[in-house]
Amino acid sequence: VTYCVGLFLRDGLVFLSDTRTNAGVDHIATYNKSFVVEVPGERAMVLMCAGNLATTQAVVNQVIEGGSQAGDGQTLFTVESMVGAAELVGAAVRKVHARDSAAFKSQDISFDASFILGGQIKNRRMRLFQIYSAGNFIEAAIETPFLQLGEHKYGKPILDRALKYDTSLADGVKLALVSMDSTLRSNLSVGLPIDLTTYEKDTQKIAIRRRIAEDDPYFSALRTSWSEALRRALAVAPGPPWDPGVV
Amino acid sequence: VTYCVGLFLRDGLVFLSDTRTNAGVDHIATYNKSFVVEVPGERAMVLMCAGNLATTQAVVNQVIEGGSQAGDGQTLFTVESMVGAAELVGAAVRKVHARDSAAFKSQDISFDASFILGGQIKNRRMRLFQIYSAGNFIEAAIETPFLQLGEHKYGKPILDRALKYDTSLADGVKLALVSMDSTLRSNLSVGLPIDLTTYEKDTQKIAIRRRIAEDDPYFSALRTSWSEALRRALAVAPGPPWDPGVV
């Protein structure tokens, strides 16, 4: 299982993905699930993926490297807009579906691939999209400033409660990491290390690109701080005005 | 959709269930999903249910009222142990399945019913069980002091992080309500009012039985306090040691 989250903030974008790939509990591997497309100063994008690994790798290859199935030869390095980039990913998913779906169906394998794509091309708006396995897509918005892939439920409440469009990039990083931590704790098939990428608006350059492992001092400090803060929150929260132990 | 949570604590039990029943978004009703069986001083139990409403009502009727299909005439008022009570619920689920499954299958309706049953009979241990739709069941334990039914993922992280077997009943009530609040915020098909029941160990009497609606002053104060505490937790959590906006 995968967990990826993308934040669409006033000051920029935050991307966070886990690296666990598994085909059964006895077949586990570590794969990067977030890919950077960057021409510094001209364009910067991040593509994160969830689903069948062969399918997502085929899509990533097509949209980043081009290749025989890419049709008109466009890649994320050549598209003229972020909408064009999302359309390119959607078209690549449909091509892979056309190629694989009959074989999948004959073996009862479900076609499963979804993507978060965000970034900015010079003189254009910064945007964040989620592309579904059917190739269609939706966009994050000021009222809905985050998108998630995969095992999304455990990490959603903290984002629902605390994340706003005008949250700072640093607080966005904190919230994305706390959301990931909640997911890691609740679902063993989402696993460390995790990949964090940040982008500041109107720079067309990736700001931070870090792989965070078990021993990362910042992630450890954040986890400890958050657990202590929750214990304090429980302590200061008002108790019930009736005694729950009195009959 | 339903969300029910049962806590198994050193000092007693906490039960919390929502009341939303829906067959599509345009067919919504409010139903009690937690049922009390009590002979004060002799036995006290709470049964919570999730799944197909006709199925769960049939099971509840059988185990509380008895009835033609109940076989040897046992009910939750007559069983001699909590394990016997869990077995009775499991047997009732299997009877309803035997009665309905052919018709369900012919109409592509899935058989879906699960239960949390907890309580204590005099001179016996306090116990908390989860009964599956196949009629088999598991028990909460000191290391795993809560059980959930239905839409369980949104409300699980806070319990994973903060609930322990030796959490007090009052803190257990707080945590169950925060867990429910997270679920209510993230899934519209889980809805207020909610039903809270608490039991103190070795009393064989229900302590608190409250229906909590939108305007409940305690629940409102708890929600406000929790949201403020999370904002403070975010403020005091360490920021990343690298500037996420600097290229």
Size of interface A-B (CB pairs under 8 A): 169
Residue from A36, A190, A242 whose CB has the most chain B CBs within 10 Å, to mutate: A242
Residue B163 forms contact with A (CB below 8 Å): no
B231 part of contact set with chain A, CB < 8 Å = yes
Of the partner residues B225, B233, B243, the one whose CB lies closest to the CB of residue A229 = B233
**Is pLDDT of B200 > 90?**
yes
User: Could you tell me which residues are beta bridge partners of residue B38?
Assistant: B44
Predicted confidence (pLDDT) per residue in A98-110, tens digit: 999 999 999 988 8
So what's the pLDDT on residue B193? Answer: 94
For B231, nearest residue in chain A (alpha carbons): A162
Residue A70 scores a pLDDT above 70: no
Best A9, A120, A148, A153 member to test B by mutation, with max B CBs in 10 Å, is: A153
B155 neighbors B162 (Cβ within 8 angstroms): no
Contact assessment for residue B158 and residue B182, using Cβ atoms and an 8 Å cutoff: yes
Q: What are phi and psi of A207, to 5 degrees?
A: -85, -65
The mean pLDDT value for B202-206 works out to 96
For the residues A62-78, what does the mean pLDDT come to?
81
| Pair of tokens at residue B156 | 């699980």
> Can you give the pLDDT at residue A191?
86
Chain A residue with minimum CA distance to B245: A200
B103 touches chain A (CB under 8 A): no
Using a CB–CB cutoff of 8 Å, tell me whether A29 touches chain B.
no
Which of A62-76, A206-220, B29-43, B160-174 is predicted with the least confidence, judged by mean pLDDT? A62-76
**In sequence order, which residues have a C-beta less than 8 Å from that of residue B143 and are 6 or more positions away?**
B165
**Whether pLDDT at B70 is above 80:** no
Q: What is the mean pLDDT of residues A199-227?
A: 95
Query: What confidence category does residue A71 fall into, taking pLDDT thresholds of 50, 70 and 90?
Result: low
Measured in angstroms, the CA of A96 and the nearest CA of chain B are apart by: 32
pLDDT for B61 beyond 90:
yes
DSSP states along B68-125 = GGGSS---TTT-SSHHHHHHHHHHHHHHHHHHHHHHHHHTTPPP-EEEEEEEEETTS-
Mutate to test the interface with A, among B7, B36, B153, B158 (most CBs of A within 10 A): B153
Alpha-carbon separation of residue A49 from A116, A117, A129, A134 (angstroms): 6, 9, 12, 14
Residue-wise pLDDT tens digits, A142-184: 999 999 999 999 999 999 989 999 999 999 999 999 999 999 9
* CA B60/CA A68 separation, integer angstroms: 62
Q: What number is the average pLDDT over the span A54-76?
A: 84
Mean pLDDT along residues A108-130: 96
- pLDDT tens digit string along A36-60? 999 999 999 999 999 999 999 999 9
Confidence of residue B56 (pLDDT cuts 50, 70, 90): very high
pLDDT of residue A178: 96
pLDDT digits (tens, 9 = 90+) for B180-192: 999 998 888 888 9
Query: Residue A231: which of B156, B162, B218 has the nearest Cβ?
Result: B162
Q: For the segment B111-129, what is each residue's pLDDT rounded down to a tens digit?
A: 999 999 999 999 999 999 9
Res B23: pLDDT: 73
Question: Average pLDDT for residues B119-145, to the nearest whole number?
Answer: 97
Confidence of residue A121 (pLDDT cuts 50, 70, 90): very high
Q: Is pLDDT of A68 > 70?
A: no
Q: Is the pLDDT of residue A24 over 80?
A: no
Q: Given pLDDT bands bounded at 50, 70 and 90, which one contains residue A189?
A: confident
To the nearest whole percent, how much of chain B has pLDDT over 90? 81
A64 CA to centre of own chain:
18
Is the pLDDT assigned to residue B194 strictly greater than 60? yes
* Residue-level pLDDT at A69: 53
Q: Compute the half-sphere exposure of residue A22: CA atoms within 13 Å on the CB side of its CA.
A: 15
Report how far residue A95's alpha carbon sits from residue A118's, in angstroms, rounded to the nearest whole number. 21
pLDDT of B24: 75
Considering only CB atoms, which chain B residues are within 8 Å of A222? 237-238
Distance from CA of B25 to the nearest CA of A (A): 20
pLDDT of B180 reads: 96
Crossing angle of the two packed helices A217-236 and A169-186, in degrees rounded to 10: 80
Indicate if ipTM > 0.90.
Answer: no
A 165-184 near B (Cβ less than 8 A): 169-175, 178, 182
Min distance B45 CA to chain A CA atoms (Å): 14
Query: Could you tell me if B237 lies within 8 Å of chain A, comparing CB atoms?
Result: yes
Q: Which of helix, strand or coil describes residue B129?
A: strand
pTM comes to 0.90
